[in-house]
Structure 1
């Protein structure tokens, strides 16, 4: 019987400790192929390389380093490198949380999204904090969650976003959670290089999160493992129905006086 093929990727790069833990854990469940960025690609979201060539470096059998983004890696894996269609794509384990609206920026999550767009069930794994990773505990949990996904299946156009707490321990348990809202300082630091040309650093430190009971942020802050189902359908259905009632959008609607162009001053 052919073992299921499992694609492993990340955004921290192929040499990151988290991807080694994840790949080793997946080998108990199937045939593992690692296709990951050659260098760190954190916070690149779903960027895809359309204007420069990519190179593939075979580091070991079934272990490919790609000179591009996480999305590039999964795209190349699914459409070129893999011998057959994977049963599952797992991304991570990211060194740092991907909670709430982090999913919009995360390269770890982007790898899972790219696979999901090709109808491959996918899971993104991250661990909050910047301390060391407890490989044995993490391996046990990622294996358990991935095995359940392989067994139960997942809805089309949906994936799982999993976050481990900083102090993962034997007593940690899973909380099925909605996405929360993290808060960051929105900073632009202006500098000048030795040639007196300006350059800028974007970003800022994390300021906390909105207190939303049942959210992934709350779950991880309380020491639990958050398991969040994410749907790629971004349509706001309630607002969609409201839009249909806007007067200006009705057939043959007359423009209001304030919408009409007035005389321009020359």
Structure 2
């Protein structure tokens, strides 16, 4: 099994290093990750300049681009041998609920899925204890399962792991995405040259965070495993929207 590892925190991230160490012996591992932190990059793809790839002494390769760039290059140009799957992480903080819209970690996994590979995004719900080894062990267990898992097209697993030792985990729960409350306001500051600047405010707390959600699972000490379908169509809205549009005046002055 050939596994591509990537992330959004950068090639030197402790989570990526722990993931690489934790999957040793499971297959042939290749690491292609951003050369710096690209948290919040979402699915951005660099199209306005060429990208530079650098190989590091530990065998990892870095790209001066986004997480999506990294996976795209790795699958479509850097290697002759194909990959069997993509694992993105271990992210240094949670990717719960609405976080996945912004997450470069999830974006790296979805790019792998867009290119036809099963993919997992994994994040540590960091409480300052740094139990990346627990998250790496969770990923290894998922990859070692003999029973095939068919999520369907354009689907990935989004995994969030509590920041506790392995023996302290309560177990595993299959969850849905919750939703955060509105983010905190932008934080103004003045730079040394006297210009007004702004920090993006902190993410809101879990507003929809009850039983069944990823927020609730990790709060109870469980690993949250959420199937994420990258199809943004609101299918149940198609019929009422079609009725609404057909009632509008049509080109030529008539109605449908």
Q: What TM-score results when the alignment is normalised by the length of structure 2?
A: 0.90
Distance in 2 between residues matched to 1:144 and 1:240, nearest whole Å: 40
Distance in 2 between residues matched to 1:148 and 1:88, nearest whole Å: 14
Alignment of 1:61-72 (within 5 A): 62-72=59-69
Gaps of 5+ in 2: none
User: Hey, what does 1:198 align to over in structure 2?
Assistant: 196
Gaps of 5+ in 1: 257-266
Structure 1 residue 182 and structure 2 residue 180: aligned? Answer: yes
Higher Rg: 1
Structure 1 residue 121 and structure 2 residue 118: aligned? Answer: yes
Give the conservation status (yes or no) of the 8 Å contact 1:95–1:130: no
Give the conservation status (yes or no) of the 8 Å contact 1:32–1:62: no
Give the root-mean-square deviation of aligned CA atoms.
2.3
Alignment partner of 1:46 out of 36, 43, 50 = 43
Alignment of 1:226-245 (within 5 A): 226-245=224-243
Deviation readout 1:83-120 (Å, 9 max, x if unpaired): 22210100001111000110000010010011111111
Alignment of 1:105-120 (within 5 A): 105-120=102-117
Q: What TM-score results when the alignment is normalised by the length of structure 1?
A: 0.86
Per the alignment, in what secondary structure is the counterpart of residue 138 of structure 1? helix
